């Protein structure tokens, strides 16, 4: 789970900006909070919705987290670092840090980067009152130096190996990823944080398509039955998702060079989703236990009034149904695994009542007693309801006069329990809405 994300000089965030999921003292909707058990435990919100006008920076918050994920799992991406540009003097130095919970332990992982190198990298074990260093890595003109936390490694040769590993880590790569690649040992916390970035943090952008669906359709009971139940619950009209095996030679609408590349690069227990040239057909590729490539065509099945099943291509479904096909695997995943889902523009192509229902389903059916989190950006003002969300779960992003994005929480406005949040928001009481000029000034 995410406790707090801090970003500085990245995308539209010109100054150090904090996005916090630390729960306030309020007791309303208490099931929305994972309460700490011990004295030094941190109470964390299970959800957050982020509002803002177009180009306010709310999507950049999601992109910043996604960038930190890429850096942690590998290193500086080939596309470089998107520094904040609306300043008098461009600073090519950005900071990203996330505080997170993995099972019963809290960590803080962060980096300072320029366009080509990781200048600093750190990992600490934290709680309410203290922090203990696991490692710190600094890149200077003298080379890369790594400092391991005191008392963590008693074996001198192992300590020397971990330091050498750090010193020989390429400057554009993360120590976190190098430790895993080189099979590092005995440095508690590194494997957990790497696993959190790799397997527990999942980010869905508006153009994300069916990744969870194509990866999990091979599961008969754990995934398929809940999938079909939810498709009916959300009234999509879809009875089931069909996954029909086809022969490779039947793939006349996929470039043969792409198929050959998949055969070379696909790994066991992984899947690749592809759409045909004309955008009408959808396929998933995976390896069987013998390493042989298998191809499945994904389609939907509806039911006629006389109960006869009718098959549709996925591309024939409405945008709203397709968006639910994106989300439902996430809901199912959260019922079985500790997961953090960050969704940019959750309301895209969804009816307001359906978006509301999706959150109610999450709160009532999924999040209780699980380490799950659902964080979304949205324009949907119907979600501004203190019966659905706590005031500390609602955030606003807006830009100042210099074009730098800032984040505020609804709790800072101390809204009364009976206040009409939607009306107040649309009137500009909390900021984060667009303001337009006079149409007459356009001289059309």
Let me know if residue 323 belongs to a domain: no
Tens digit of each residue's pLDDT (9 = 90 or more) over 368-410:
767 999 999 999 999 999 999 999 999 999 999 889 999 999 9
If asked whether residues 188 and 257 sit together in one domain, one would say: no
The C-alpha atoms of residue 406 and residue 31 are separated, in whole angstroms, by 28
Q: Which residues pair with 99 in a beta bridge?
A: 4, 108
If asked whether residues 195 and 217 sit together in one domain, one would say: no
The total of structural domains in the chain comes to 2
If asked whether residues 13 and 87 sit together in one domain, one would say: yes
Let me know if residue 320 belongs to a domain: no
Q: What angle do CA 264, 241, 233 make, to 5 degrees?
A: 140
The C-alpha atoms of residue 1 and residue 106 are separated, in whole angstroms, by 9
Q: What is residue 18's three-state secondary structure?
A: strand
The C-alpha atoms of residue 276 and residue 281 are separated, in whole angstroms, by 5
If asked whether residues 275 and 179 sit together in one domain, one would say: no
Phi-psi category of 46—alpha, beta or left, where left has phi over 0 and alpha has psi -120 to 50? alpha
Q: Are 13 and 23 in contact (CB under 8 A)?
A: no
Let me know if residue 241 belongs to a domain: yes
Q: What does the DSSP 8-state code read for residue 368?
A: T
Range(s) of the domain holding residue 251? 210-315
Mode of pairing for the β-strands spanning 282-287 and 293-303: antiparallel
If asked whether residues 85 and 177 sit together in one domain, one would say: yes
pTM here? 0.88
For the CA atoms of 355, 366, 59, 213, the dihedral, rounded to the nearest 10 degrees, stands at -90
If asked whether residues 148 and 221 sit together in one domain, one would say: no
Please list the ranges in the chain whose pLDDT falls under 50.
none
* Confidence (pLDDT) at 228: 82
If asked whether residues 181 and 218 sit together in one domain, one would say: no
Check the CA dihedral 12-18-24-30 and report its sign: positive
Helix axes of 225-233 and 319-336: crossing angle, nearest 10 degrees: 130
* Confidence (pLDDT) at 443: 61
Of 160, 177, 203, the residue that ends a domain is 203
The C-alpha atoms of residue 43 and residue 288 are separated, in whole angstroms, by 43
Helix axes of 319-336 and 352-361: crossing angle, nearest 10 degrees: 10
Of 165, 186, 203, the residue that ends a domain is 203
The C-alpha atoms of residue 160 and residue 155 are separated, in whole angstroms, by 9
SS3 of the chain: helix, strand, coil, percent, to 5: 30, 30, 40
If asked whether residues 113 and 197 sit together in one domain, one would say: yes
Let me know if residue 352 belongs to a domain: no
If asked whether residues 178 and 268 sit together in one domain, one would say: no
Let me know if residue 337 belongs to a domain: no
b/e per residue 399-417 (b: at least 16 CB within 10 A): beeeebbbbebbbebebee
If asked whether residues 17 and 160 sit together in one domain, one would say: yes
If asked whether residues 157 and 141 sit together in one domain, one would say: yes
Check the CA dihedral 33-37-39-41 and report its sign: negative
If asked whether residues 82 and 218 sit together in one domain, one would say: no
Q: Count helices and strands (H / E) in the chain.
A: 10, 20
Of 285, 315, 345, the residue that ends a domain is 315
Phi and psi, residue 112, nearest 5°: -120, 125
Structural element, H or E, at residue 118? strand 118-126
Taking the alpha carbons at both ends of the chain, their separation in whole angstroms is 51
Q: Tokens standing for 264?
A: 């070379």
Let me know if residue 335 belongs to a domain: no
Tens digit of each residue's pLDDT (9 = 90 or more) over 276-332:
888 888 888 888 888 888 898 989 999 999 999 999 998 898 888 888 887 888 888
């Amino acid at each position: 789970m995410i406790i707090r994300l801090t970003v500085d000089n990245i995308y539209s965030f010109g100054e150090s900006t904090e996005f916090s999921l630390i729960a306030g003292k309020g007791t309303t909707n208490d099931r929305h909070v994972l309460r700490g058990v011990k004295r030094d435990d941190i109470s964390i919100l299970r959800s957050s919705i982020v509002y803002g006008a177009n180009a306010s920076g709310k999507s950049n918050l999601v992109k910043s987290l996604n960038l930190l994920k890429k850096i942690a799992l590998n290193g500086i991406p080939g596309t470089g670092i998107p520094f904040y540009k609306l300043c008098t003097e461009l600073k090519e130095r950005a900071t990203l840090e996330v505080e997170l919970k993995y099972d019963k332990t809290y960590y803080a992982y962060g980096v300072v980067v320029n366009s080509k190198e990781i200048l600093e990298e750190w990992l600490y074990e934290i709680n309410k009152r203290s922090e203990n260093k696991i490692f710190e890595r600094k890149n200077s003109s003298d080379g890369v130096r790594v400092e391991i936390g005191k008392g963590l490694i008693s074996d001198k040769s192992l300590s020397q190996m971990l330091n050498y590993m750090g010193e020989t880590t390429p400057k554009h790569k993360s120590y976190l990823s190098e430790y895993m690649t080189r099979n590092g040992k005995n440095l508690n916390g590194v494997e957990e944080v790497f696993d959190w970035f790799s397997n527990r943090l999942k980010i869905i952008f508006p153009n994300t398509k069916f990744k969870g669906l194509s990866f999990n359709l091979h599961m008969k009971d754990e995934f398929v039955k809940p999938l079909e139940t939810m498709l009916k619950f959300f009234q999509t009209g879809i009875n089931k998702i069909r996954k029909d095996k086809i022969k490779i030679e039947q793939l006349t609408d996929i470039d043969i060079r792409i198929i050959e590349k998949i055969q070379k690069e696909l790994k066991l227990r992984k899947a690749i989703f592809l759409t045909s040239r004309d955008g009408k057909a959808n396929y998933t590729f995976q390896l069987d236990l013998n390493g042989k490539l298998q191809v499945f065509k994904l389609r939907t099945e509806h039911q006629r009034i006389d109960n006869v099943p009718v098959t549709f291509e996925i591309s024939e479904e409405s945008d709203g149904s397709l968006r639910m096909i994106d989300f439902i695997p996430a809901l199912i995943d959260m019922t079985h695994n500790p997961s953090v889902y960050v969704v940019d523009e959750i309301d895209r192509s969804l009816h307001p009542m359906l978006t509301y229902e999706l959150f109610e389903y999450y709160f009532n059916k999924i999040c209780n007693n699980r380490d799950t989190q659902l964080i979304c950006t949205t324009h949907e003002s119907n979600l501004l309801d203190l019966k659905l969300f706590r005031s500390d779960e609602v955030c606003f992003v807006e830009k100042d006069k210099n074009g730098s994005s800032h984040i505020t929480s609804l709790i800072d406005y101390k809204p009364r329990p009976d206040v009409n949040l939607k009306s107040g928001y649309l009137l500009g009481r909390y900021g984060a809405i667009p303001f337009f000029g006079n149409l007459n000034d356009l001289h059309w």
